[in-house]
């Protein structure tokens, strides 16, 4: 058995959630004021994911903003950012354009979120 | 002199949504004047996601949200002028505009919508003793440097202020390879969204020190470090609690103020609490035909509400131009706030001029738990909402309907009151 302490992000209450785990199995969630806290805790301890937003360099100087098209596992954030730091794309880039097909082995593409020169 | 039915000052989300609404309500002769090289306002530098959940039911980044509105404005063929700054507006609605290629021009408008947004509090107002070495930036400036110019201001960072921009920048600088050592917050609570505390600080193990401030800045030419100390309930540093952090960058995230130089010079009545103009139910200022919306009216944290508010201003400006707006016959009914609510927008309401339900938006000055927000007409309670918590960081709203006045008569005042709920009254958030 192990315990994880989380802060619920569902609303400004920010309830402190205690999650009791048996390996990968959630035994109980306590501390939540409403149902959303329970749902959040279960996802956050078993499969936490985030959309990553950053910028990539343009060949002719400057940067363009990008994001992962969907959320990726939280543990992959730094790998994804590292990959994108090495990437140089040729402008002009259009909003929605794929700049990387598959980031950090997640199968999820990275797309531009603005127009570049 | 150029004539124009409606001139909109500022091409951020507020200006764009106002223009779109005016156009959809039959006004064709519109001009958006934007100081920057492109439309979109502050959203262009907010590359993180979390915009548009209310409006589009998806999580967009700032530039993507802006682009949706820019596209709509372009489809509606709304004229705009970028790289152009409004220098002056007279009470008669004559605008002086400077444009890099065309020089200075004057425009006579029938109606004006102010949508200039806000800017960050300057650091001079922060009262930090010591020198002002290189390496101190406002969080928003750093955001523009990193996200638009692609330049990382430093490697070792301390952030003062835990508003959303500070939190967002803590994550952003970390992803760019900087070490963010600590975020210090003067208040005993963070002004930022919980989601940002979890996803921008906790995810990266960045500590948040509440009730702390910077008491000393080290370095004459370049920043070398800062000393933090805990503060007591009067915000005075407590001796013996000092801690030194070596750093080359200090980001200040100490709040935003509406950018109202133009409004003040026009002689518009201002609200000292919001630093924005006083407005009525139509978002009209003390000068008839001049409307205001977005961050220049009061600082918003959710852009969705900016767009919604701006659409109201746009529709009302259209009514004004077409002569469909009732003239103000009285002062209107004042909206008073009590029990810890700091202000409301609008602060006066004329029921006769209400063409649609009016959203009254407001903020509290402190954190309150287990309470009610109630709407009264004089002493009659019309509505009550239960809140587990209200915080200064989240704007609240109440909807005023014309029926209320038909049913209960015209009150002396409209009151929005924060009331403590009984201890055992633990039902979850909801309306009554
Ligand atoms: C750093 C930051 C992070 C944020 N994060 C979020 C978030 O995660 N989610 C969310 O929903 N909201 C967020 N917001 C809030 C949201 O972005 C703002 O509320 C919104 O952009 C306000 O829109 P606006 O049009 O009123 O102002 P702005 O976007 O500031 O636009 C005002 C425009 O007016 C122009 N202007 C000013 N003066 C003149 C003049 N004299 N002549 C011509 N043009 C002029 C300016 O150049 C600017 O383009 C954030 C805001 C900031 C600052
Ligand atoms: S558990 Fe419910 S009340 Fe508590 S923070 Fe989460 S959403 Fe809000």
Comparing CA positions, the residue from B7, B9, B4 lying closest to residue B296 is B9
> SS3 sequence, chain B?
CEEEEEEEECCCHHHHHHHHHHHHCCCCCEEEECCCCCCCHHHHHCCCEEECHHHHCCCEEHHHHHHHHHHHHHHCCCCEECCEEEEEECCCCEEEEEECCCEEEEEEEEEEEECCCEEECCHHHHCCCCCCCECEEEHHHHHHHHHCCCCCCCCEEEEECCCHHHHHHHHHHHHCCCEEEEEECCCCCCCCCHHHHHHHHHHHCCCEECCEEEEEEECCCECCEEEEEEECCCCCECCCCCEEEECCEEEECCCEEECCHHHHHHCCCEECCCCEECCCCCCECCCCCEEECHHHCCCCCCHHHHHHHHHHHHHHHHHHHCCCCCCCCCCCEEEEEECCEEEEECCEECHHHCCCCEEEEEEECCCEEEEEEEEEECCEEEEEEEEEEECCCCCEEEEECHHHHHHHCCCCCEEEEEEECCCCCCCCCEEC
Mutation probe of ligand 1 site: the residue of B10, B55, B161, B259 with most atoms within 8 A of C-beta: B10
**Cβ–Cβ < 8 Å for B5, B110:** yes
Kindly give the distance from the C-alpha atom of residue A17 to the centroid of ligand 2, in angstroms, as a whole number.
9
What pLDDT, on the 0 to 100 scale, is given for residue B124? 53
Under 8 Å CB pairs connecting chains A and B tally to 78
What pLDDT, on the 0 to 100 scale, is given for residue B54? 81
**First-residue to last-residue Cα distance in chain A:** 54
ipTM of the shown complex: 0.88
What pLDDT, on the 0 to 100 scale, is given for residue B432? 45
Handedness of CA B420, B425, B428, B432 (dihedral sign): negative
Q: Does B82 touch chain A (CB under 8 A)?
A: no
* Calpha distance B430→B340 (Å, rounded): 20
B289 touches ligand 1 (CB under 6 Å)? no
* Calpha distance B286→A101 (Å, rounded): 55
Q: Which of A10, A43, A44, A67 to mutate to test the interface with B (most CBs of B within 10 A)?
A: A67
Contact criterion met (CB < 8 Å) for B49 and A51:
yes
A14 touches ligand 2 (CB under 6 Å)? yes
Tokens of B274: 């919001």
CB atoms near residue B45 (< 10 Å): 21
Q: Distance from B214 to chain A by nearest Cα, in Å?
A: 27
What pLDDT, on the 0 to 100 scale, is given for residue B389? 86
Atom 5 in ligand 2: which residue has the minimum CA distance? A14
A13 touches ligand 2 (CB under 6 Å)? yes
Q: Distance from B149 to chain A by nearest Cα, in Å?
A: 6
Atom 1 in ligand 2: which residue has the minimum CA distance? A37
Q: Give the position, in ligand 2's atom list, of the atom nearest the Cα of B429.
A: 3
Which residues 175-194 of chain B have a CB within 8 Å of chain A?
Answer: 175-177, 193-194
Q: Write down the domain spans for chain A.
A: 2-47, 53-112
- Residues from chain A that touch B172, judged by Cβ atoms under 8 A, are 54
What pLDDT, on the 0 to 100 scale, is given for residue B423? 64
Comparing CA positions, the residue from B172, B212, B174, B168 lying closest to residue B193 is B168
* Calpha distance A41→A53 (Å, rounded): 23
| Mean pLDDT calculated for residue range A17-35 | 92
For A27-69, write each residue's pLDDT tens digit.
999 999 889 999 999 999 999 999 999 999 999 889 999 999 9
Kindly give the distance from the C-alpha atom of residue B141 to the centroid of ligand 2, in angstroms, as a whole number.
33
- Residues from chain A that touch B64, judged by Cβ atoms under 8 A, are 95, 113-114
Kindly give the distance from the C-alpha atom of residue B338 to the centroid of ligand 2, in angstroms, as a whole number.
27
* Calpha distance B35→A36 (Å, rounded): 43
What pLDDT, on the 0 to 100 scale, is given for residue B129? 67
For A60-77, write each residue's pLDDT tens digit.
889 999 999 999 999 999
Could you say which residues of chain B have pLDDT below 70? 123-127, 129-130, 423-432
- Residues from chain A that touch B203, judged by Cβ atoms under 8 A, are 50, 74, 77
B51 touches ligand 1 (CB under 6 Å)? yes
**Cβ–Cβ < 8 Å for A65, B63:** yes
* Calpha distance B166→B159 (Å, rounded): 7
Comparing CA positions, the residue from B218, B189, B344, B258 lying closest to residue B14 is B258
Q: Does B29 touch chain A (CB under 8 A)?
A: no
Nearest ligand to residue B81 Cα: 1
Tokens of B286: 């003390």
Residues in chain A: 117
For B229-285, write each residue's pLDDT tens digit.
999 999 899 999 999 999 999 999 988 889 999 999 999 999 999 999 999 999 999
* Calpha distance A56→B412 (Å, rounded): 58
Handedness of CA B134, B139, B145, B146 (dihedral sign): positive
Looking at the structure, give the CATH architecture of the domain made up of residues A53-112.
Roll (3.10)
């Amino acid at each position: 058995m192990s315990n994880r302490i989380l802060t619920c992000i569902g609303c400004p209450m920010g309830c402190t959630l205690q999650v009791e785990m048996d390996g990968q199995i959630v035994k109980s969630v306590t501390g939540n004021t409403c149902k959303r806290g329970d749902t959040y805790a279960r996802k956050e301890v078993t499969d936490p994911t985030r959309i990553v937003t950053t910028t990539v360099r343009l060949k002719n100087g400057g940067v363009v903003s990008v994001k992962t098209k969907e959320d990726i596992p939280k543990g992959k954030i730094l790998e994804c950012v590292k990959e994108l730091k090495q990437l140089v794309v040729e402008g002009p880039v259009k909003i929605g354009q794929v700049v990387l097909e598959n980031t950090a082995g997640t199968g999820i593409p990275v797309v531009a979120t603005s127009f570049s020169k | 002199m150029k004539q124009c039915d409606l001139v909109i000052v500022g091409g951020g989300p507020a200006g764009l949504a106002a223009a779109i609404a005016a156009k959809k309500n039959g006004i064709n002769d519109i001009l958006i004047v934007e100081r920057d090289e492109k439309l979109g306002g502050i959203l262009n530098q907010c590359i993180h996601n979390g915009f548009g959940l209310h409006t589009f039911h998806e999580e967009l980044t700032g530039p993507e949200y802006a682009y949706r509105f820019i596209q709509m404005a372009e489809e509606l063929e709304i004229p705009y002028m970028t790289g152009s700054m409004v220098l002056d507006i007279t009470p008669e609605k004559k605008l002086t505009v400077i444009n890099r290629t065309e020089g200075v021009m004057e425009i006579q408008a029938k109606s004006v919508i102010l949508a200039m947004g806000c800017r960050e509090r300057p650091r001079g107002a922060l009262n930090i003793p010591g020198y002002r070495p290189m390496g101190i930036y406002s969080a928003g400036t750093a955001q523009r440097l990193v996200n638009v110019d692609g330049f990382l201001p430093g490697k070792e960072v301390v952030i003062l202020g835990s508003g959303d921009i500070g939190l967002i920048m803590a994550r952003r600088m970390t992803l760019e390879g900087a070490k963010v050592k600590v975020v210090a917050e003067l208040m005993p609570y963070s002004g930022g969204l919980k989601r940002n505390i979890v996803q921008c600080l906790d995810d990266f193990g960045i500590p948040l020190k509440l009730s702390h401030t910077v008491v000393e800045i080290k370095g004459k030419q370049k920043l070398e470090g800062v000393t933090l100390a805990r503060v007591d309930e009067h915000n005075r540093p407590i001796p013996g609690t000092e801690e030194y952090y070596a750093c080359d960058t200090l980001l200040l995230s100490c709040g935003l103020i509406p950018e109202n130089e133009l409004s003040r010079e026009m002689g518009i009545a201002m609200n000292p609490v919001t630093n924005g103009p006083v407005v009525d139910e139509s978002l009209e200022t003390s000068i008839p035909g001049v409307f205001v919306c977005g961050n220049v009216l009061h600082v918003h944290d959710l852009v969705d509400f900016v767009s919604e508010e701006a659409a109201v201003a746009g529709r009302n400006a259209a009514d004004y131009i077409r002569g469909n707006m009732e003239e103000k016959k009285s002062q209107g009914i004042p909206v008073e706030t009590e029990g810890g609510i700091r202000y409301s927008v609008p602060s006066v309401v004329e029921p006769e001029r209400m063409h649609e339900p009016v959203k009254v938006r407001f903020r509290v000055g402190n954190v309150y738990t287990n309470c009610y927000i109630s709407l009264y007409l004089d002493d009659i309670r019309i509505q009550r909402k239960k809140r587990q918590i209200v915080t200064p960081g989240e704007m609240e709203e109440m909807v005023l309907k014309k029926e209320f006045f038909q049913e209960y008569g015209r009150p002396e005042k409209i009151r929005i009151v924060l009331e403590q709920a009984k201890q055992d009254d633990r039902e979850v958030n909801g309306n009554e």
